[in-house]
Structure formats: C-alpha cells, structure tokens
A and B are shown apart, each in its own frame.
Chain A
C-alpha cells in the first residue's frame, strides 16, 4: 500500500513537472505572434553570445514578416501607438533570435535586462510608452519569467532609420 502511494506521488510529480513545460508554438499562435527568420549579421559580430547562464543578444530591430523594417522617428514620423507596435515587432524579432539560438523557448529562465532605444526627436519624452510594446510582449509570452529590469531611452538616430532597437540579456537553463 505504501509503495502504491509512493508510486502515485511519483507519477503526479512527474506529470506536474512535465505540465510546467509550455507549448510555446501553441502559445505564440494564440497570441497572434508569427516568428520571423532572423537575419544573419553582415559584419564581424554575432546575434548572441552565451557566457555561463547568460545569453547576451545583439540589438534587434522591428522586422516585419515580409523582411522589411518599421522605420521613422517617433515624435515626427510615427505616433506613440506606432512606436509601441514597432517595439512589439522588435520583441518578436528577439523571440525569433532566441528560438534560433536555444531551439526551445522553455530554456528561457528569465528575461533579465532590456535596453530599449527609441529613434525619436529631441523633444520626445515618452520612450517608456513605446518600449512597453516589447515589455508587454515578454510578459504575455513568458509570464513572471518575462518581467525584466529595463531602460527606455531616446536615440538621435538608428541604423537604416529603424524606429526602435532593443538589446536584451536572458538567463537560460
């Protein structure tokens, strides 16, 4: 009898821990997120470097599924809402890079740190409202594990005039 209880306990623990694995393909689909094919760096750098349990990602931009970037300056060419959308799209680029690097998003233990850079006019002061597009996405996808430390700042310009560039540090298994 004791053995049966122990066995039952073991089975329930096993199911519980397997239940903790998230079906990210399904989850992304539910959230209406379509991962893109990450571009390859065209110069002497790489998309990500792992050191210990930390994965440092290069700055990603708001690449749409058609391969084109959302461009323009927030405060002049783009509204806050469009900036938010660009930051969300950048988050999708980041998820795509993470998936390509790790194989399985279940390996993400924590989104540690985000540096969100907004291409904006000198008088634009709502960078946080823009970068929320990425932060909201990370929490929607990863739950508590997606909550990160962050800075949201304004840049005078970004490569090829992309609207947003975001770099992150992720703790992985």
Chain B
C-alpha cells in the first residue's frame, strides 16, 4: 500500500512537471502569431551564437509574412502605432530565429536584454512607445520570463530603411 501511494505521488509529480511545459505552437496561434522562416545572413555572420547558457541574437528586422520588411522613418513616414506594429513583427522574427536555434521555446528561461533601435527623425522622442510592440509581445508569449532589461533608442538610418531593428540576449536551459 505504501509503495502504491509512493507511486501515485510520483505520477502526480511527473504529470505536474509535464503540465508546466507550455504548448507554444498553440499559444502562438491563440495570440495570432505566425512564425516566419528565418532568412539566412548574407555575409560573414550568423543569426545567433551560444556561449554558456546565453544566446546572443543578431539584430532582426520587421519582416512581414510576405518576406518584405516594414520600411520608413518614425516621425516622418510612420506613426507611433505603425512603429509599434513593426516592433511586434520584429519580435516575431526574433521568436522565429529563437525557435530555429533552440528547437523548443520551452527551453527559454529568460529574455535577458533587448536593444531596440528605431529608424527615426532627429526630433522623434517616443522610441519607448515603439519598442513596446516588442516588449509586450515577449511578455504575452513568455509571461514573467519575458520581462527583460532594455534600451530603446533612435537611429539615423537602418539597413534597407527598415523601421526597427532589435537584438536580444536570451538565457536558455
């Protein structure tokens, strides 16, 4: 009898720890997020490198489902709302590369740090409101584990005139 209850307890614990695994495919679908196929770097660098438990991701851009990027300058061509959407799309690009790198998003222990770069005019000062599109997405997907340190800053120009570029550091299992 004692053995039996020990077994039950063990099964209970096992099911609990399995239950903690999140079905990210389902969760992303619920959030209306469709991961993209990460593009390959076109020069001598890679999308991500791992050192110890940290993954450093290269700067990513706001790639739309059709493969083109959201382009333009905040403060001239795009509204804050359009910038927010571009930062969210950049977050989806980053999630796509992260998934390709680690295989399973359950391996993500913490989004550690983000550097959010906004393509904007000299007088545009609402970079945080733009980069929130990325930060809100990370917390929607990863909850507490998605809360990161960040800087949100304005750039004079970005590759291909894309609206936003974001690089992140992630702690993994």
A59–B74 Cα gap in the complex (Å)? 20
Q: Given the complex, which residues of B lie within 8 Å of A158, measured CB to CB?
A: 125, 127, 153-154
1/0 per residue, CB under 8 A from A, across B134-147: the answer is 01101100000011
B153 is contacted by which of A48, A52, A56, A59 (Cβ under 8 Å)?
Answer: A59
Interface of B is mostly: mixed
A163–B120 Cα gap in the complex (Å)? 16
A49–B149 Cα gap in the complex (Å)? 6
Name the residue in A42, A44, A51, A165 with the highest tally of chain B Cβ atoms < 10 Å from its Cβ.
A44
Q: Does B152 contact A (CB under 8 A)?
A: yes
Q: Is the CB of A43 within 8 A of B155?
A: no
Q: Is the CB of B125 within 8 A of A43?
A: no
Q: Is the CB of A117 within 8 A of B153?
A: yes
Q: Given the complex, which residues of B lie within 8 Å of A46, measured CB to CB?
A: 147-149
Name the residue in A47, A115, A157, A158 with the highest tally of chain B Cβ atoms < 10 Å from its Cβ.
A157
Q: Is the CB of B149 within 8 A of A45?
A: yes
Q: Does A122 contact B (CB under 8 A)?
A: yes
Q: Given the complex, which residues of A lie within 8 Å of B148, measured CB to CB?
A: 45-46, 49
- How many pairs of A and B residues are in contact by the CB < 8 Å rule? 89
Q: Is the CB of A43 within 8 A of B113?
A: no
What is the size, in residues, of chain B's interface with A at 8 Å between Cβ atoms?
35
- Cβ-closest chain A residue relative to B73: A156
B149 is contacted by which of A52, A58, A122 (Cβ under 8 Å)?
Answer: A58
A117–B149 Cα gap in the complex (Å)? 16
Q: Is the CB of B124 within 8 A of A59?
A: no
Give the contacts of B124-173 with A (CB-CB under 8 A): 124-128, 132, 135-136, 138-139, 146-156, 169, 171
Known contacts A157-B122, A159-B125, A160-B125, A56 near B149 by CB under 8 Å: yes
Q: Is the CB of B132 within 8 A of A43?
A: yes
Q: Is the CB of A157 within 8 A of B123?
A: yes
Known contacts A44-B132, A49-B113, A156-B121, A165 near B153 by CB under 8 Å: yes
Sort A-B residue pairs by CB-CB distance and give the 4 closest, nearest first.
Answer: A59-B151, A157-B154, A156-B156, A44-B135
A positions within 8 Å CB-CB of B: 42-49, 51-52, 56-59, 73, 115, 117, 122, 155-161, 165, 167
Can you name 6 extra interface pairs (CB under 8 A) apart from A45-B150, A155-B154, A156-B121?
A44-B147, A46-B147, A49-B110, A51-B110, A73-B122, A165-B151
